Structure 1
């Protein structure tokens, strides 16, 4: 893994000359996350849901403000009653959360979850469990998974095993099989060295929006709004909570509070199948990637989606085919054509700053005199080494808001998206406004209602891992 990434990064650096124009051009790729979560966003990954990233969140922990919580989700549209095999993590893949704390678009830290399966059913039963399950050690739980959590700390040239044999919260089979799922979820929270904790298991999909945006932007007349079309579905979730000093440059969140975050999934490149047997081998290949929501799904054209999923952030600026999808984003042009709302003037330097640099006066002052979340604002960063790239950026020094606004920064809440992303941030409404120029000229009144889905259908938790418990009622029963 480390060798492969090092080789690719050196190759990317060799192509860096003349990349400033490309970096600016890539704003559309980064700024397009306006209209849905990254569910089934590209042709290849849509056929491999266990390793399909859906969302990434990064926020200062509301109940432990000296820590940061990272959440990443995979496996979109898990129907709760999808047995008998339900929704296991892939055992031939690496699930990664990456941190860039010096702004060179390379992962300084990678937290990696690798899963193993213990299937005890054999030829005895088709059931996931053969009686009610009351703990993760209950012998009635016949299908189990565990994981190893490894930290790749590149600045210090070390690889650290943070957890081994950690227990995964199983899929929620239903109340007869798992009468108190909350107990099982709590048992799947694992302490890790340095005062952190890790979780892996199923959860309610925390994203909320009306996916009918794809029907020519809400029916062509804003008639198709108000339906949370991911409500009731589950996802597979990993969550990590660690002290700020574990993530920030030099371990110093006071001098260097800003980090960039993205997730990725790597699979082995060769899969051999024979009747009843599957074996994976070969080199590791990145098959999915996610930072800001909806980059690949809405902005990148169909012919480049699979390629985007394979790119490292440092390579973003080296892909000329993406140039015309950036400073000239598609969504505002569609809104103008369908609704007659004038698109902002291009090229879109505001989007370049927000999504490729982080908000900083070192890029310019068109977004106000605001140094918010760019790694360029870290005191120990050499600006000459900074590389614009698509990442979800977070300023870890901003305390949790006493009364958070679902509109994040646009709602006057500096701890909200696009400064990191909290579970309750309404990123669709925020991003649509940003695409329409609200960060520069103020909110667009005609779109103020957004998709009329302003909150998740179930409440989030107040303690780690914060995501809601997975649903156990069929989605189609809601209709």
Structure 2
């Protein structure tokens, strides 16, 4: 009985190999991905191996070379607003674990220059605590619950695509303890995208 099982499995395995093998004949393989020298050509009806030996289809990524970090954007706009006092480039290449020590006092000075009357914000954070949070430029993500940049209750539990992070940042910088101070400075006046978000992954809106 075991012998028959092994023979049957071997036959199925052999048949599956024959079914998926690729060919240089453009007429006998259908509903497969087409490639040409490793690059997809958009025609998803045939396989063209381009020679006598079939190569895997797809783009081969080359990660050789020397790389260096050029930008830092855990939270959108943070370095744009606070990194304007001659340390923007240094901030971009600093690892998050070293950011608070290196930049918190610079962020605080910048915050008070932008809003000399700052005492607290809608999160109840004074200037020192607020800039300690901001200077560690990482996007926090809660593993459960609501994902939001700030919805009035939850704070920095992630970022939903529809979150207006610039308005939220402006509100926390200029809005005061109850969010009503300096109303002309607490919004950029852009409430939504020009293009609706997609309903399937990756959900981002297409170019407009």
The two structures have a TM-score, normalised by structure 1, of 0.28
What SS does the aligned partner of 1:452 have? coil
Aligned twin of 1:287: 70
Contact 1:408–1:418 (CA<8 Å) still a contact in 2?
yes
What is the SS of the residue equivalent to 2:68? Answer: strand
Residues 78, 134 of structure 2: 8 Å contact kept: no
Shift of 1:395: 0.8
Q: CA deviation at 1:399?
A: 4.3
Q: How many residues align?
A: 153
Query: Displacement of 1:451 after TM fit?
Result: 2.2
**Pick from 409, 423, 430: which aligns with 2:161?**
423
Do the aligned partners of residues 396 and 462 (structure 1) sit closer, same or farther apart at CA in structure 2, a change above 3 Å counting? farther
CA distance in 2, matches of 1:137, 1:344: 58
Aligned-pair CA distance for 1:469: 2.1
- How far apart, in 2, do the equivalents of 1:138 and 1:453 lie? 40
1:326 matched to 2:73: no
Determine the C-alpha separation between the residues in 2 that align with 1:419 and 1:429: 17
Match for residue 119 of structure 2 among 335, 344, 359: 344
Any unmatched runs of 5+ in structure 1?
1-117, 121-134, 140-163, 168-267, 269-279, 337-341, 357-388, 472-479
- Deviation of 1:306 after TM superposition, in Å, equals 1.5
Aligned twin of 1:409: 151
1:353 and 1:317 mapped to 2: Cα distance? 6
Rate the CA distance shift 1:349–1:313 in 2: closer, same or farther, 3 A.
same
3-state DSSP class of the match of 2:113? helix
Which of the numbers 177, 183, 193 marks the counterpart of 1:447? 183
Query: Are 2:72 and 2:93, in contact at CA under 8 Å, matched by a contact in 1?
Result: yes
Alignment of 1:20-59 (within 5 A): none
Q: 1:460 aligns with which of 192, 197, 203?
A: 197
Q: Is the 8 A contact 2:150 2:156 kept in 1?
A: yes
Offset at residue 166 of structure 1 (A): 6.5
Specify which structure has the higher proportion of helix.
2
Indicate the residue corresponding to 1:137 in structure 2. 42
Q: Where do 1:65-214 residues align within 5 Å?
A: 137-138=42-43, 165=58
Task: Tell me the distance in 1 between the aligned counterparts of 2:167 and 2:100.
Answer: 27
TM superposition outliers: structure 1 runs of 4+ over 4 Å = none
- Under a length normalisation based on structure 2, what TM-score does the superposition of the two structures give? 0.57
CA RMSD of aligned residues (A): 3.7
Q: Hey, what does 1:396 align to over in structure 2? A: 143
Q: Is 1:344–1:436's contact at 8 Å kept on the other side of the alignment?
A: no
1:399 to 1:443, Cα distance in 2 relative to 1, 3 A: closer
Q: Alpha carbons of 1:324 and 1:310: their partners in 2 closer, same or farther (altered >3 Å)?
A: same
Structure with bigger strand share is 1
* Unaligned stretches of 5+ residues in structure 2: 1-36, 45-56
Q: CA deviation at 1:431?
A: 0.9
Matched residue SS, 2:72? strand
Aligned equivalents of 2:104, 2:128: Cα separation in 1? 14
